[in-house]
């Protein structure tokens, strides 16, 4: 896999297509639980693979949401988001699909500590490289997207008003042309 190339992301739930985007952005989105296991990825916008197939995204964890419902494979970031959102608790069973190990979420302290740190803005270790730094809250991307949606909705409203004014002006001009044509 060539991580230097641009990538495309095809969202499963609504068919939205994102790209071309750098692979680092895909990794960030996967970590922030913005890429689902059903989403597809491509480097050429023709050949597609399911997101968990790319080892570099680290979508290695299966969450037992309830006895009959599983989610994943997904990233540790998504596990954190499920926990932080209250969709799972410390008794949720997490399976590492890479090595087959199973654990209760409460037995994986780095997930719970990172969730707390994300919520409070504290500094914590992140990623497999162990880089030290402040982690963004789980809702930062959603908040930014919601803000952008509001901005775009306002711009759309302004454009609609401008279009209505233009259509009104066109109607007025057409009426004047018709009057002038009759008087000639």
Please state, for a pLDDT cut of 90, what percent of the chain lies above it.
23
**Phi, psi torsion values for 93, nearest 5 degrees:** -90, 130
Convert the pLDDT of each residue in 123-169 to its tens digit: 434 333 333 333 334 445 555 566 667 677 777 778 888 898 999 99
The CA-atom distances, in angstroms, between 132 and each of 30, 122, 138 are 19, 11, 17
Q: pLDDT of 79-131, one tens digit each?
A: 888 888 788 888 889 998 888 889 898 887 766 665 545 545 544 343 333 33
Give pLDDT, residue 167: 92
Coil, helix or strand at residue 70:
strand
Q: Cβ contacts of residue 184 below 8 Å, gap of 6+? A: none
30, containing H or E segment: helix 23-31
What are the phi and psi torsion angles at 153 (to 5°)? -65, -40
- Cβ neighbour number for residue 154 with a 10 Å cutoff: 10
Residue 156 φ/ψ region, left for φ over 0, alpha for ψ in the -120 to 50 degree band, beta for the rest: alpha
């Amino acid at each position: 896999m060539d991580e230097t190339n641009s990538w495309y992301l095809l969202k499963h739930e609504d068919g939205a297509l994102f790209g071309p985007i750098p692979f680092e952005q895909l990794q960030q989105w996967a970590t922030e639980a913005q890429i689902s296991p059903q989403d597809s990825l491509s480097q050429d916008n023709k050949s597609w693979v399911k997101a968990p197939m790319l080892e570099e995204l680290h979508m290695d964890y299966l969450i037992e949401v309830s006895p009959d419902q599983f989610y994943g494979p997904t990233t540790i970031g998504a596990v954190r988001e499920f926990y932080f959102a209250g969709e799972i608790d410390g008794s949720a069973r997490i399976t590492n699909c890479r090595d087959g190990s199973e654990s209760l979420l409460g037995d994986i302290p780095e997930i719970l500590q990172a969730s707390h740190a994300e919520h409070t803005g504290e500094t914590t270790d992140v990623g497999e490289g162990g880089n030290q730094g402040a982690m963004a809250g789980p809702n930062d991307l959603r908040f930014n997207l919601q803000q952008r949606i509001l901005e775009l909705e306002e711009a759309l409203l302004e454009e609609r008003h401008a279009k209505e004014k233009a259509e009104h002006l066109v109607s007025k001009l057409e009426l004047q042309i018709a009057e002038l044509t009759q008087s000639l």
